[in-house]
Amino acid sequence: MGYQIERATPCRVVLTATVGPDEVRAEREHIVGEWVHAARLDGFRKGKAPRALVERRFAESIREDLEEHLTRRVWDRVRTEEALRPASPLGVRDSKWLDSGEFHVSAEFDVYPAIELPALDRFRPPEFDVTPSEEEVSGALDQLRERQAAWEPVDGEPAAEGMLVEAEVNGEFPDGDGEPFHEERSLFQIARDEVYPEIDAAVRGRSTGEEVTAERVIGDEGGEERRGKRVAYRVRIKSLRRKRLPDVDDGFATSLGVQGVEALRDRVRERVLAGKAEHRRDAWREALVTYLADGKTIDLPEGVVRDDTRKEVVEFAHALAQRGIDPEKAKVEWEKLEAEMRARVETRLRGELLLDALADTLSIEVTGADVDHEVEVQARRIGVPFAELRGNLAKGGGLERVAAVLRRERAVDKTLEPFNGSGTGPAPAPGA
């Protein structure tokens, strides 16, 4: 077998190959033998029909199988010998039989580019202090207080900023271009953008039991058909409540399963530290990818970029539909959105290629057990059975994607590990 490859673009390979007659004959013998073994012809038991009869009866199918097998053999050999990383299936442009008995095939396919990384021992992550400040600890405590807050009834006071309003809402279209509507129990906080500003303004300064009116004109959020229509509201305030935050005392700590305020602050400080360490890891990961790129532009296979961008756009349209918005009628600049998504896809793909090359340099390996463990963690997080999630992932190549992500992140962790202490240690040597 002989072949030639040429680069139509940095990521597009054109392949021409010729399989010699001896190799063709050997492969044909193998295929015919399989057909004879499996053939069912009238008057003969399975696998007992004469070879000549099988060849004559199934000549076209045998020829198709032979061409497929020879093409696959060419494909396997080229990938192995040229150390290519295909980014698309082999696309056969032409195949033919020569008078000499040789088989000739021409094809093309996308490949991921080879990546050359700079020396890892020169990488230094940016400074990032993870020590929690007292302001950060206090802020985290305030968030805990917000989650444990109680809403107490307000008597004899008008509605004011931050209060929770329970209201009965009636609406109608004064111009007669819509159906009246009624909401028995509407809940919203004043000055929190949880209700139309016209209603928010109308209830401020009013007390429980009062009824107020408001009117608004529907804007772009209503879609083309409803834009510009007037809506009139009658809002009856059924109750007002004010948020009461718990004091940071021993009782509050006990309600959270911690003995004492100081122990609570220590636990909150640990959580803040963990969060900042995670943010630092993200910042360092980004810095590492930038360092590995070394200022060079990495070519990407156009087919992969195009397909991934299309998936992003389709998922966005699907998300709109789930929110009850018709994608075809939505006010979306689709060309601009597609360009933005394409840029994000290209950034992601370049990062993945760089981290794949880093994982190769560091000889990072991921086992099937590693993948199963990660799937089990994900299954617990989203609340589905492990077997169900694993089966769904296996159907669409999801397990391979999980393995690829694990491998990249392990490469990142191994590179960043020396800096997690003092932040001044050297990066590991290649292959360490």
Task: Among 90, 110, 130, identify where a domain stops.
Answer: 110
Verify that 25 and 57 share a domain, yes or no. Answer: yes
Q: Which two tokens stand for residue 295?
A: 């200022």
Verify that 230 and 256 share a domain, yes or no. Answer: no
Q: Which two tokens stand for residue 400?
A: 């391979």
Residue 12 lies in a domain: yes
CATH of the domain at 12: 3.30.70.1050
Q: How many residues in total does the chain contain?
A: 432
Give the span between the Cα atoms of 178 and 30, in whole angstroms.
Answer: 74
pLDDT of residue 138: 94
**For residue 366, pLDDT beyond 60:** yes
Per-position DSSP letters for 244-292, written without gaps between them: EPPPSSHHHHHHTT-SSHHHHHHHHHHHHHHHHHHHHHHHHHHHHHHHH
Give the span between the Cα atoms of 199 and 186, in whole angstroms.
Answer: 12
The predicted model gives 154-167 an average pLDDT of 93
The predicted model gives 134-150 an average pLDDT of 94
Backbone angles phi, psi at 349, to 5 degrees: -65, -40
Give the span between the Cα atoms of 286 and 298, in whole angstroms.
Answer: 16
> How many domains does the structure of the chain reveal?
5
> pLDDT confidence of 223, banded at 50, 70, 90?
low
Q: pTM of the predicted model, to two decimals?
A: 0.75
> pLDDT confidence of 415, banded at 50, 70, 90?
very high
pLDDT of residue 267: 95
Q: Which two tokens stand for residue 176?
A: 């007669």
Contact 261, 141 (CB under 8 A): no
Verify that 413 and 325 share a domain, yes or no. Answer: no
The predicted model gives 136-154 an average pLDDT of 93
pLDDT of residue 227: 81
Residue 400 lies in a domain: yes
Residue 321 lies in a domain: yes
Verify that 7 and 95 share a domain, yes or no. Answer: yes
**For residue 84, pLDDT beyond 90:** no
Verify that 177 and 229 share a domain, yes or no. Answer: yes
pLDDT of residue 42: 86
- The whole-chain average pLDDT of the chain stands at 91
Verify that 197 and 79 share a domain, yes or no. Answer: no
**For residue 423, pLDDT beyond 60:** no
pLDDT of residue 355: 97
Which of residues 425 and 387 earns the better pLDDT score? 387
The predicted model gives 197-216 an average pLDDT of 95
Verify that 283 and 327 share a domain, yes or no. Answer: no
pLDDT of residue 426: 40
The predicted model gives 48-73 an average pLDDT of 92
Task: Among 284, 314, 345, identify where a domain stops.
Answer: 345
Residue 139 lies in a domain: yes
Residue 124 lies in a domain: yes
> pLDDT confidence of 178, banded at 50, 70, 90?
confident
Residue 225 lies in a domain: yes
pLDDT of residue 8: 85
pLDDT of residue 40: 86
> pLDDT confidence of 222, banded at 50, 70, 90?
low
Verify that 98 and 34 share a domain, yes or no. Answer: yes
Judged by DSSP in three states, 111 sits in strand
pLDDT of residue 432: 33
pLDDT tens digit sequence for 279-328: 999 999 999 999 999 999 999 999 999 999 999 999 999 998 888 888 88
Task: Among 203, 226, 244, identify where a domain stops.
Answer: 244
Verify that 271 and 132 share a domain, yes or no. Answer: yes
The Cα diameter of the chain in Å comes to 103
**For residue 225, pLDDT beyond 80:** no
CATH of the domain at 234: 3.10.50.40
Verify that 25 and 139 share a domain, yes or no. Answer: no
Verify that 104 and 7 share a domain, yes or no. Answer: yes
CB < 8 Å & 24+ apart, contacts of 361-369: 361/117, 361/120, 361/411, 361/430, 361/431, 362/411, 362/414, 362/415, 362/428, 362/430, 362/431, 362/432, 363/431, 364/407, 364/410, 364/411, 364/414, 365/407, 366/403, 366/406, 366/407, 366/410
Verify that 181 and 218 share a domain, yes or no. Answer: yes
pLDDT tens digit sequence for 234-277: 999 999 999 999 999 999 999 999 999 999 999 999 999 999 99
pLDDT of residue 196: 94
Residue 217: domain span: 150-244
pLDDT of residue 427: 40
The predicted model gives 182-186 an average pLDDT of 95
Residue 354 lies in a domain: no
Percent of the chain with pLDDT over 90: 81
